[in-house]
Amino acid sequence: MLSAIAIPSALFWTSQQQTEQVARAMTGGDPARAPALMRRYGCAGCHTIPGIPGGDGQVGASLADIRHRVYIAGVAANSPDNLVRWIVAPQAFSERTAMPATGISEAEARDVAAYLYAQ
């Protein structure tokens, strides 16, 4: 019985590791640093974010499965560079967005983008 559980878990782990490697390569960020950054900059206050304690905000869109979306915030094609730019300066894409400029740096935004693409 234990081996039946261990094999699927091992397959998931490998798949998750591969997904994180791809996210790192796409963004130049480290998804492991993102949870602390998202708490520091208040992302979870507005967004539902899988894997982030307290990440159950209802003001902004859910950030679940962002890698499968065509657009970021409905205004920019979903690409790593656009996601990083959106996180740093959302008003550059949409002057009327409710998302604030948080003061996050580009390097930190790359970590957050890597995390979101890895989920």
Mean pLDDT of 10-21: 72
Residue with token string 């559980």: 5
Q: For position 11, what pLDDT does the model report?
A: 45
Amino acid making up residue 61: A
In angstroms, the Cα distances linking 56 to 31, 59, 102, 117 are: 19, 9, 19, 18
How far out from the chain centre does Cα 110 lie?
9
pLDDT in tens, 26-56: 999 999 999 999 999 999 999 999 999 888 8
Tell me: domain 2-118, CATH 1.10.760.10, correct? yes
| Residue bearing the bigger pLDDT, 11 or 18 | 18
Q: For position 76, what pLDDT does the model report?
A: 95
DSSP reduced 3-state for 71: strand
pLDDT in tens, 61-98: 999 999 999 999 999 999 999 999 999 999 999 999 99
